[in-house]
Amino acid sequence: MNLNQVTLPVINMLEATGFYRAMGFLQIVDTPHYARFESQEGHGTFSLTLNTLRMVNPTVIYFEHEQLDELVISLQSKGFVFQQEPTDMSYLWREAILNDPSGNKIILYWAGENRLRPPWRVELSG
């Protein structure tokens, strides 16, 4: 199987779509209640769905970028506010954290080979 997409709830579609386009994503579906974006690299997509009630969404969406530090600086110059600057994590990823206008947590990261092949990798099936 291949992961198709992740859908995030948002409370203001115009504000949310502007936020993700400003991050550099290409919007490929635009309706008053649903929007979809293509990843900058690869074939992944993610979408937004209008949710009129504010809620706390515990889901975290991760976007990988090899030049993480440069990306964060670029986004900060556009006014994006980060809760965590790029930081080397104990699990061998480098991560920066921000929230979208609806409060969805976004982690921008670079993991290199450690994304799929960390030193503690196991291969369990069935």
68: domain CATH number is 3.10.180.10
Res 51: pLDDT: 93
Closest C-alpha to 60, from 28, 29, 103: 103
**Number of folded domains in the chain?**
1
Range of the domain at 12: 5-52+60-113
pTM: predicted TM-score of the whole model, two decimal places: 0.92
Query: What are the tens digits of pLDDT across the range 61-91?
Result: 999 999 999 999 999 999 999 999 999 999 9
Is residue 119 one of the residues assigned to a domain?
A: no
How many other C-beta atoms can be found within 10 angstroms of the C-beta atom of residue 1?
A: 3
Strands in 15-93 per DSSP E: 26-30, 34-38, 45-50, 60-64, 82-88
Q: Specify which residues 97 forms β-bridges with.
A: 84, 107
Give bridge partners of residue 13 from the DSSP assignment.
none
126 in any annotated domain: no
Token look-up 């080397």 returns 88
CA-based torsion, 114, 116, 117, 118: positive or negative: positive
Mean pLDDT, rounded, of the chain: 94
